[in-house]
Structure 1
Amino acid sequence: MQLKINNNNGIVVFEWILYSQFNEIKEIGKNGSITVYSAIWKDGPLYIKTSDTWDLRDSNKKVALKCLHNSQKYIDSLINEAKKYSIKHETLQVLYGISQNPVTGDYILVQNNYIWDSENEKINDFIQERQFKINNYDDEVLEWIPYNQFNEIKVIGTNGPITVYSAIWKDGPLCHNKKYGNYTRDSDKEVALKCSHNSQESIDSLINKAKKYPTKHEAFQVLYGISQNPDTGDYILVLTWTSGNEKIDDFIKERQLKINDNDIMLEWIPYNRFNNIKETCKNGLITVYSAKWEDGPLKKIDTWDKRLHVRDSNKIVALKCLYKSQESSDYLINEAKKYSANSEAFQLLYGISQNPDTGNYILVQNNSINLVNWISGNEIFDDFIQEMQLKINNRNDFVFEWIPYDQFNEIKETGTNGLITIYLAIWKVGPLKKNSWSGENYTRYSNKEVSLKCLHNSQESINSIINEIKKYPTKHQVLYGISQNPVTGDYILHNFGDIVLEWIPYNQFNEIKETGKNDLITTVYSAIWKDGPLYIKLDTWDKSYVRDSNEVVALKYLYNSQESIDLIINEAKKYYPTNHKALYVYGKPSWTKLSGIGRVKNQAWIDKMSLRV
């Protein structure tokens, strides 16, 4: 071995080492015919400094002693084992030399680190193949991990023939220390154990599964090694995390790979990371809980030289428990796909978890679902409201929700049209909107004046009212939500309380003066409209509507128009502004506008026109 040393720097001199050179010898593990000890080598290894000089020894070096029992009977086997190792001191496993226990006669390989072998040749070959491919300090060291290395083993999930445990790995994974150019262990590392029952029956299947995992230690999901339960014989993949379900793992990794700067990092979250779990609401196959997540979600922060992921620890979250979801991972994944990855969204999906007692999967969200009402007592409505809330991904959007009827005060009828009655009311708690200055926080704007559009007999057709709701724009959430009159059962839509195109009582006009006439068909008057028209005030936080009182308007009087409703509607359509900015200059000399129409029975057309604004 020494004759093979050439002029390269960083080479360890392979040597025979007297057993008396070792102090503080402590057993650290045993596996079949091998026992491993840690020890302090007094003289320490010798390195080549330059091509013609020797460096000083690295004295009092901590080393691993791999004791091969009965190896004195098989010298060739010992030599073949030694030939597998490198003598470059920065490689993963460096063989410093050979020693021998004078009492037992067992030969000892003296190494920098020790990586265990399994008792299965195929697994050993696979692990060694992966280790030999390590050519970068960012590569993860795959190794065989004795089962007795794990403490605090707890079941965290099950999926058919797979059980997932959390555990503390005493030694921990090997990490490259860039400062000192060597490998050290990250001891007492929390890991996930993916136990495949009866996996001892198919080693090839186990190895193929292991091959799917990346080798980079900065990957989202890392395979540290393989282990085996000595009692059951089941093989175990030791991972940073796993759900135990390949489809769910793949979905999470796919989302992680697509992450952008402002996106939420989706992850698998062990159920034991949640404290203070309390039920907040229930509906059919869904129960929602509030909880404190110890670790908290990952957040991106920018420093002067790099971008980091840090945890927002002790985060209050909502746990949306999907009953019987363990029966269909496709159902769970489809539910998770509904959530936007955008951190500006109203409902953020931090991750997926599983209750180990029931097997039910859980969507771990921000706590926004517990801030709003979404349970109406009708599952179709509940699903629709959730769908609407999941579409909110702009801080300017209001939150669409179910609003209990007792939230309204000062309810006053303002008009009726067939099966529709319009009321004005004060919504006590008011709409919910994101506070632009406080991250994820949402604020309610209490005592908000709203209009209630009561659809009589609407309880007989849920789909009809949902279709009615879909007509409303989602930008700035003109429609606040749905309610129901508990006495009549009629469903109610809540919007801003103001309709741009509206019915205007004639007594709203003062100082009416004729300004022009066109034969016997049309006469135009000027007048003062006391309340004035509605327009969007864009410089307010909620883009609210306000009235421009005592506005000078033109009244275009159409003779005999009461005899032809279609005539007046067609005439009104000519005036409808196609650009919402026209609302700012309503009634100004450069614009001709229609303030309103003179028959409330045409409310349906007015509503239709208002929805376009």
Structure 2
Amino acid sequence: MQLKIDKPDDIIIEWISYNQFNNIEEKITKECSAIWKDGPLNYNKIKNNYIRNKQNTKITLKLYNVTKKFLNVVIEDLNRYCGKIFGISQNPYTKDYNMILQEDYNEICNKCGKYDIDTDCNWCKRCQKNYLKKIFINWTSGNEKIDNYIRKRRNIDSISDRIFEFIPYHQFDDIKEINKNNLYSAIWKNGPLSCHNNKWARESNKKVYLRLHYLQNTNKFLNKISKNDLSIYGISQNQNTKYCIIVSQYINLYCEKCGKEYANYANKIDEWCIYCQVNDLKLDFANWTSGDENIDNLIQKMQLKVKSKSDKLFEWIPYNQFNNIKKINDDNFAKIYSAIWKNDLYYYKYLYEKEQIRRVESRVVLKYSQNITFKKYSPSIYGISQDPITEDYIIVSENKYCEKCDKEYTITNENWCKPCQINDLRENFTNWTSGNIKIDNLIQVVQLNISHPRDIIFEWIPYNHFSNIEEIDRGGFATIYLATWKDGPLSYYGRDTKYVRDKKKIILKQLDDSQNITTEFLNEVKKYSIKKYKEILAIYGISQNPDTKNYIMVLDYAEGGNLYNLVNKHYKKFDWTYNIEALTSIITGLKEIHDNQMVHRDLHT
């Protein structure tokens, strides 16, 4: 069995002395749990050898009585549990042999001893069914057909299955009619059963839907209950009216104020009713005016185009709401100013809500206009105002101008100004040095090539900025380390228009014998992209080991490691779908590399 291994992650099956086991406890007949003191052999790539680094491993001992068919049974189990076997041992007192297996080697329940368990959550279907039979022993709907239907629906297969049950009508409080189609909302006092950590418990005071049906034909009523509808908790009945009731999950289908169904899926999630919002906006028309009927009509028309909770509300904005007004542009077409919209008014976010909230102060653009028209709704325009001195009307829109230079942002939706960022980087050149003029020049050139806020700010990173440095691989010309960059790379935060840092796990690729930096190395670094691609590792900068004087490339950390290790570790999960996805990502990455004339001299599996 040992000579059949062909991958470093394969388990080495071995003879294990019985005195290696502690805490031996019987689980079921002929099976015991135990602790293996030394633990199994594992291949260490760095040391190029097998080591034992998982001491006190939990295992299962499977007992074999010595009979004529003993070896046949062992051989069958060796094939059956391949990949889960650590080895074989012998009890020195009983002379019985034991197979040593992984703790969760089989789908077997410790309680009932049957092979009916979900190993992912240690959930036994047989035990859970027996438990449900006990707790549902004394109940009836009063209708034999309904009782039989409920028993069949309660035949669970997994821990996520919903428990279908008969729910006495007195369990419901706060019953409210939602619409005229016999739909009500209610609070189920006890609530539905659910299983967490192998324990059943009820979610008390659960809000539910009640759908009423007049019971004339039991079969027709039961046919209306979809077997595939997982939102249904069960059946109830009002003993006074004799209405049968389907009890289901409350999923925000209807507005509780007007009873109408929400317009779309997003509105259901937000519990936002377009009908109520439009109605409330109409009622609010009387509470404001621009003083010009045409402007009022335009604003009202724009407000009624609202479609979702996230839409900005187009409005009339009093001029005294603006502070720090500063001229940006004044030409023959329009006067443009920047300003701070104080937004210090309290308002109803949704006009039918009980409490008002305060707006958030924001920077805006004021564009003077003689002729204001809007053909369609634009989320970038907040509304209209009027200069009280010139009486010119003003279009108020989201800010798109840099606070430093008053020029339009290079990337408007990120509040990012390329000229200002380039200037900031230039001014910072005097605050750092690698000690090598060639490297300093390289870093400066790469930094000045940024064109987007998500571009990497390539930098010189002092070696003492790294912690938890651990060697993980060694190649022909470089040594690879895993480390934590204490400060982390610069990332642009558009809301505050500044770069921030946060610690990050990274890879240090130390180039052997690189004390004297070469032009070839510098040219190679230049070809790495400062763009962020999903399929290509990012490079953050250069550092130097103060002891060896070798230079280091600081790279992004790939959680899954290299392709070789990934395949070895998860080969059982690879199917054709995953293979195609992986190959697509590799091809995309190679295309980006070649399109950008980048190098990949260390690309291999």
TM-score by length of 1: 0.35
- Which has the larger Rg? 1
TM-score relative to the length of structure 2: 0.35
